[in-house]
């Protein structure tokens, strides 16, 4: 299909922070297998200068002009924007989604979708009332690797009956030395490892233990513990137990240490073998290897499935969003509203057991 026939999505990018730079860099990168055409129509920021610098740095070699704004409101009101990408800290996701929705804009909003499930429901209720598309940007769910792996696990049953998944996200932060305004330190912005990085190992457990997700998801039982530095949650461990199958997920996260760039980021155990997922961190898998049952001292030979490409992987959620909007869908079939709410409910329960409270919880 010629590029001109592909659905086009004109994006309004909210914020000039880290994730916006990653997202935009992926979208402007040339590729052969495009499913949609992406235009960075506008950048919105707290400062016009930041928007200008961001556009100059990340929206390069494109055959169009990007509009730069010194506010978010101008993005909401720009009639040339098809979808607003929300890249603010989680504490502002509800506010920014509601403002974009009120202006009649479709929205793709970063994880964690909101601070709690109540806020998520509020956003989806507003989207329903306004008739616009809203989706959580949980990019891991959109990776073709996950669909392929789930087919191998549950249709081809390559490792027999799956009984356990373990996944750990580590990141080194020195909470004490961060300014009080950092999103990693300010509770009103959603500080804490669970919502920021724990959501990825949780997603690995959900996707590999529950073949019904996302449309027929089963609610696991949860047992969780959390630890704190300066009042900020820095380590979470949780066990998920699926009543219908007995499958278990062991999900851990910490901002107190880091791993190397090439590690096992998730392991799925089955009665006839196991799968190791390789990558830098659980949000960024690179490949996975399917092994037969390990019976000898020596690790058995496995079959590797490689998914490396130039883009980081944000292109998949962007393509799917463009295709959803072009088809008139209001929800993503990959991350439906009910699934985003359910993930927030699981994290609410983890925080209830672990003791993390955000100001928004009592609002
Ligand atoms: N999918 C993924 O892999 C990743 C997702 N994320 C998610 O993206 C969101 C943003 O994270 P990240 O990009 O790392 O954050 P950054 O701190 O790098 O950027 C956040 C941006 O939000 C805007 N902002 C508005 N108010 C505030 C405030 N009070 N404090 C800080 N920033 C503010 C600023 O942009 P401006 O001044 O331009 O308005 C700022 O640059 C989070 O929800 C995070 O979970 C983050 C990293 C990776
Ligand atoms: O989503 C994320 O993945 C990478 C981390 O660096 C970041 O803090 C987090 O938000």
Domain boundaries, the chain: 3-139+314-335, 144-309
The pTM for the full model equals 0.97
Segment 113-172, tens digit of pLDDT: 999 999 999 999 999 999 999 999 999 999 999 999 999 999 999 999 999 999 999 999
Residue from 15, 19, 190 to probe ligand 2 pocket by mutation (most atoms less than 8 Å from CB): 19
% of the chain surpassing 70 pLDDT: 99
Three-state DSSP state, 31: coil
C-alpha of residue 54 to centroid of ligand 1, in Å: 14
- CATH 3.40.50.720 for domain 3-139+314-335, yes or no, is yes
Distance (Å) of CA 37 to CA 70, 166, 315, 328? 26, 37, 10, 17
The span from the CA of 256 to the CA of 270, in Å, is 31
> Is the interface score ipTM higher than 0.90?
yes
CA angle 259, 242, 143 (to 5 degrees): 50
Distance (Å) of CA 13 to CA 52, 78, 199, 215, 263? 12, 12, 23, 29, 32
**CA 114 to chain centroid:** 12
CA angle 225, 229, 231 (to 5 degrees): 85
Domains 3-139+314-335 and 144-309 share a fold: no
Query: Can you read off the two tokens belonging to residue 64?
Result: 């169009």
Q: Which residue, by CA, sits nearest to atom 5 of ligand 2?
A: 197
- Please say if the pLDDT value at position 277 is more than 80: yes
Position 261 confidence tier, pLDDT thresholds 50, 70, 90: confident
The span from the CA of 337 to the CA of 224, in Å, is 25
197 Cβ closer than 6 Å to some ligand 2 atom: yes
Cβ pair 37, 349 in contact under 8 A: no
Tell the CATH topology of 144-309.
Answer: Dihydrodipicolinate Reductase; domain 2 (3.30.360)
């Amino acid at each position: 299909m010629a590029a001109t026939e592909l659905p086009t999505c004109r994006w309004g990018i909210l914020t000039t922070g880290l994730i916006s730079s990653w997202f935009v860099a992926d979208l402007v990168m040339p590729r052969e297998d495009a499913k949609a055409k992406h235009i960075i129509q506008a950048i919105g920021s707290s400062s016009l200068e930041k928007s200008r610098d961001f556009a100059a740095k990340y929206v390069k070699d494109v055959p169009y002009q990007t509009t730069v704004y010194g506010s978010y409101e101008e993005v909401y009101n720009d009639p040339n924007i098809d979808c607003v990408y929300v890249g603010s800290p989680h504490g502002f996701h509800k506010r920014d989604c509601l403002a974009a929705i009120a202006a009649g804009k479709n929205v793709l909003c970063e994880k964690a979708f909101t601070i709690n499930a109540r806020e998520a429901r509020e956003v989806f209720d507003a989207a329903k009332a306004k008739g616009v598309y809203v989706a959580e940007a949980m990019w891991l769910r959109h990776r073709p690797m996950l669909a392929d792996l789930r087919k191998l696990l549950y249709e081809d049953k390559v490792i027999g009956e799956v009984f356990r998944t373990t996944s750990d996200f580590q990141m080194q932060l020195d909470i004490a030395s961060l300014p009080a305004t950092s999103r990693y330190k300010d509770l009103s912005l959603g500080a804490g490892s669970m919502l920021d990085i724990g959501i990825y190992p949780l997603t690995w457990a959900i996707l590999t233990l529950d073949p019904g997700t996302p449309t027929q998801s089963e609610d696991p039982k949860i047992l969780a513990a959390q630890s704190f530095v300066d009042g900020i949650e820095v380590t979470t461990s949780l066990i998920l137990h699926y009543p219908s199958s007995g499958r278990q997920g062991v999900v851990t996260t910490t901002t107190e240490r880091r791993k190397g760039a090439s590690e096992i980021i998730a392991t799925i155990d089955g009665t006839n073998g196991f799968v190791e997922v390789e990558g830098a961190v659980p949000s960024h898998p690179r490949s996975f290897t399917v092994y037969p049952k390990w019976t000898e001292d020596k690790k058995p030979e496995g079959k590797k499935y490689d998914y490396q490409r130039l883009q980081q992987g944000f292109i998949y959620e962007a393509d799917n969003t463009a295709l959803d909007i072009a088809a008139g869908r209001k929800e993503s079939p990959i991350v439906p509203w009910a699934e985003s709410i359910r993930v927030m409910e699981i994290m609410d329960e983890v925080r209830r057991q672990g003791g993390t409270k955000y100001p928004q919880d009592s609002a």
